[in-house]
């Protein structure tokens, strides 16, 4: 059985967007290294992670001449800051879709900070399947305040189709939710699944999920199913 994970989030928008943020794409389970330049005139360096729809979270801080310090939920073996001659590298091991976010660093002194080197980390899920296989698509919903019923919709866009079509609407759901181990309290994690048996070539395409909750419709990232 193959499981494909999709994670939704609200998109944040700003009026000032002079340059697009570059995208760094890695496979699920890979290790990624994100650089931030060093400068002798700067005393401090901070690494931040911002998931869509959320405020930035401080990942690590560095006072030049001292060891890097990981913060909060990032104090685990998957995260590490390594120093080289010209850069500080934020290293993330065994990445998952929960690591998808914009990462950026801030550098400066007690008199001011400059922010830059932003990149969006996209995690690609590899899901090779064959005719006759069984697959489970999972959509993870992270919510802080809304604990009521969720309406979940599944869409598929086949090859050559410009718009996805609805393939499954299970109706209202009140799935059990658990405290998320990777996000601060009181965030809850709710998981919805769509199983497909005896796959055929006609099942190939890009699958999306959408969750209607608390007056909003939240769309998930698309995942390609190649058969």
Show the 3-state SS of the chain: CEEEEEEECCCCCCCCCCCCCCEEEEECCCCEEEEEECCCCCCEEEEEEECCCCCCEEEEEEECCCCCEECHHHCCCCEEEEECCCEEEEEECCCCHHHCEEEEEEEEECCEEEEEEEEEEEEECCCECCCCCCEEEEEEEEECCCCCCEEEEEEEECCCCCCCEEEECCCEECCCEEECCCCCCCCEEEEEEEEECCCCHHHCEEEEEEEEECCEEEEECCEEEEC
pTM of the model: 0.52
Residue-level pLDDT, tens digit, the chain, 227 residues: 444 344 433 333 333 434 567 888 888 788 999 999 887 777 889 999 998 778 899 999 988 778 889 999 999 899 999 988 888 999 999 888 889 889 999 888 878 788 878 888 888 776 667 888 888 776 665 555 555 667 788 888 776 655 566 676 665 555 445 544 444 444 555 667 778 888 888 888 877 777 777 777 766 656 777 77
Enumerate domains of the chain plus CATH numbers: 29-124 (2.60.40.10), 135-225 (2.60.40.10)
């Amino acid at each position: 059985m193959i499981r494909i994970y999709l994670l939704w989030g609200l998109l944040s928008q700003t009026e000032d967007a002079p340059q697009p943020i570059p995208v760094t794409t890695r496979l699920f389970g890979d290790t990624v290294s994100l650089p931030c330049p060093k400068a002798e005139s700067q005393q401090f360096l901070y690494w931040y992670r911002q998931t869509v729809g959320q405020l930035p979270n401080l990942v690590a801080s560095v006072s030049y001449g001292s060891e890097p310090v990981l913060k909060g939920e990032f104090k685990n073996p998957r995260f590490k800051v390594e120093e080289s001659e010209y850069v500080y590298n934020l290293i993330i091991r065994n990445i998952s879709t929960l690591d998808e976010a914009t990462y950026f660093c801030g550098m400066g002194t007690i008199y001011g900070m400059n922010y830059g080197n932003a990149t969006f980390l996209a995690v690609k899920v590899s899901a090779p399947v064959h005719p006759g296989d069984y697959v489970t698509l999972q959509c993870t919903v992270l919510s802080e305040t809304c604990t009521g019923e969720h309406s979940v919709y599944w869409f598929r866009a086949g090859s050559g189709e410009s718009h996805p079509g609805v393939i499954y609407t299970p109706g209202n759901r009140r799935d059990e939710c658990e405290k998320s181990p990777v996000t601060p309290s009181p965030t809850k994690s709710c998981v919805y699944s769509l199983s497909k048996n005896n796959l055929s070539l006609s099942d190939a395409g890009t699958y999306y999920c959408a969750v209607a909750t608390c007056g909003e419709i939240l769309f998930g990232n698309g995942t390609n199913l190649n058969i």
